[in-house]
Amino acid sequence: MIHGKDIIIVGLQPWDITIGSNCKNIAIELSKNNRVLYVNPPLDRITYFKRNTDPLVERRINIIRGKTDALAEVLPNLWNLYPSSVAESINWISSKKIFSLVNKINNQRLAKDISKALFSLKFTEFILFNDQSMIRCFHLKELLNPSCIIYYIRDNLSSIPYFKRHALEMEHKLIEQADAVATNSDFLAEYARNYNLNSTMVGQGCDFSQFSFPEKIAIAEELKVINKPIIGYVGFLTEVRLDIPLLEFIAQSKPDWQMVLVGPEDEAFKSSKLHSMNNVRFLGNKNPDTLASYINGFDVALNPQLINEVTMGNYPRKIDEYLAMGKPVVATKTPFMEYFKDYTYLASTKEEYISAIERSLAENNESLETKRIAFALTHTWENNVNEISKLIENSKVQTR
C-alpha cells in the first residue's frame, strides 16, 4: 500500500451519509498510511431553500454562514471538508453552453474551498481521487493541479436519467484525463478502456465486522417464529434493481417456502401482489448493525436482480455479506456475477431460479459454508486499497 502521500477524495457521497459508502471505506483505509482530505459535495441552491429544516442540511447552512468550522479531523490523518460555498442547481439547463459556464463557476467555488483546506493542512503535492463526481469536479485538474488523478467507477451512473442529460460526455473526458481508472467490475473496466487504456478492475472491499463468525451471531427473533425453509433478501426493495414478477413467481410456485424481505420498499413493491401472499413477509427497514442476525436466519439468500443498465456491471456487495455468513446464494446471472460462479447458484429464468433454490437447499453442508466464508473474506478493504495503490504506483506518481 502507498505510504506518506497526501490525498484528496471527492465524490457524490458526503461523509455523513447514512448508508454504506465505498468512498468512505477507501478513505479510511488510505488514511492508515497517508494524509487524506475527504471533500463533501457542496450544498446546492435548491436543497438550501427546500430542505433547510433537515438537520444535515441545517449543519451545512451553519457552515456556509460561518457559524461552524468547515474542516474537521474525523480520524487520525483523515479530515472532512464541508464546502462553504453553495453550488447553483444547473442540471435542468438544456443549453450546453450555459450549463458549462455555470458549472465552471460552481467548480471554481469548490476549488477555492478546497484550496483553503489544503493551505490549512499544508498539502502541497497531492493525489486527487475522484469517485464519479462528473459534474461538480469536472474542472479540478486545471483548478487544483494535482500530481496524479485516479478516477474511480463503482456504478454505471450514466444509465440514470439525472446523469444522462449532461454527465455522460463529461465522464468520458474525466476518464481520458485521469492517470489511471479504477473500477469494481470488469464490465466497467471495459467501458473505461474505451477512453483510457490504463483502466483496471481493482475488485471491491467489504466491511465484515458485522458478518464475521456467524456461529456467534444470534438469529433475529422475528425469524424464529417463521417456518423453514426461509428464502430471504436484505436491502432496498426497488423495482429499478429487483425483479418483482420473479419474486411473485417463486412465492406462488413454492407455497411451503417462506419468503422474507428485509429493507425499505419503493411504491412498486408496496403495491405488488407479494403483500397478499401468505408465505411472503416484509419485515421493514432495520438498523444496519442487526442485518447479520437476519441473514443468519435464512436458509437461502437471494439477489433477484433485473438485468438493465443500472445493474449490468455493478459489484453486488451484498453477495459478499451473504457468503461471509456461509449462506447458499441464488442470484441472477449478470455479467459480473460470473465472478462469483464457483460460490453461488446463478439463474437466468424463473424456472432456473426454482431449480437453483431447490439444489442449494439440498446440497448445503458445513464444507461449502466454510469455502464461501473463506472466499468472501478475501474481499477486504485493505486488499481493495492495495490494488488501487498498485495503480497509483504504476502511474509513477512521485509525491511527498
In tens, the pLDDT along 62-105 reads 999 999 999 999 999 999 999 999 999 998 898 999 999 999 99
Indicate the helix (H) or strand (E) that contains 180. strand 180-183
Task: Over range 326-332, report the average pLDDT.
Answer: 97
What is the reported pLDDT for 396?
55
Task: Over range 226-249, report the average pLDDT.
Answer: 95
Which of 90-99, 207-216, 223-232 shows the highest mean pLDDT?
223-232
Asked if residues 368 and 186 have their Cβ atoms less than 8 Å apart, the reply is no
Residue 1 inside a domain? The answer is no
What is the reported pLDDT for 320?
94
Residue 331 inside a domain? The answer is yes
**For residue 162, what is its C-alpha cell?**
439525472
Residue 399 inside a domain? The answer is no
What is the reported pLDDT for 166?
83
Task: Over range 366-374, report the average pLDDT.
Answer: 96
In tens, the pLDDT along 252-291 reads 999 999 999 999 999 999 999 999 999 999 999 998 889 9
75 Cβ contact partners less than 8 Å away, ≥ 6 residues apart: 28, 31
| Shared-domain flag, residues 149 and 187 | yes
| Shared-domain flag, residues 188 and 272 | no
Domain count within the chain:
2
| Shared-domain flag, residues 101 and 10 | yes
How many helices and strands (H and E) does the chain possess? 16, 16
Residue with C-alpha cell 464546502? 83
**DSSP code at position 335:** T
Lowest mean pLDDT among 52-56, 101-105, 368-372: 52-56
Whether the pLDDT of residue 399 is over 60: the answer is no
CB environment 287-310: b (16+ within 10 A), e (fewer):
eeeebbbbbbbbbbbbbbbbeeeb
| Shared-domain flag, residues 176 and 197 | yes
Give the chain's mean pLDDT.
92
Task: Over range 340-354, report the average pLDDT.
Answer: 96
| Shared-domain flag, residues 143 and 15 | yes
| Shared-domain flag, residues 127 and 275 | no
Residue 365 inside a domain? The answer is yes
| Shared-domain flag, residues 107 and 16 | yes
Residue 109 inside a domain? The answer is yes
Residue 193 inside a domain? The answer is yes
| Shared-domain flag, residues 144 and 182 | yes
Question: Could you give the dihedral angle defined by the CA atoms of residues 237, 239, 241 and 245, in that order, rounded to the nearest 10 degrees?
Answer: 100
Q: Residue 293 belongs to a domain with what CATH number?
A: 3.40.50.2000
Residue 388 inside a domain? The answer is yes
Total count of residues recorded for the chain: 400
Lowest mean pLDDT among 4-13, 134-143, 161-170: 161-170
| Shared-domain flag, residues 146 and 43 | yes
Residue 400 inside a domain? The answer is no
**For residue 64, what is its C-alpha cell?**
456556509
| Shared-domain flag, residues 171 and 124 | yes
Q: Of 144, 118, 116, 117, give the one whose Cα is nearest residue 130.
A: 144
Domain that holds residue 320: 214-376
Burial of 367 (0-12, 13-18, 19+ CB in 10 A): exposed
| Shared-domain flag, residues 112 and 218 | no
Peptide bond into 229 cis (omega under 30): yes
| Shared-domain flag, residues 78 and 31 | yes
**317-324 and 366-376 helices cross at what angle (nearest 10)?**
140
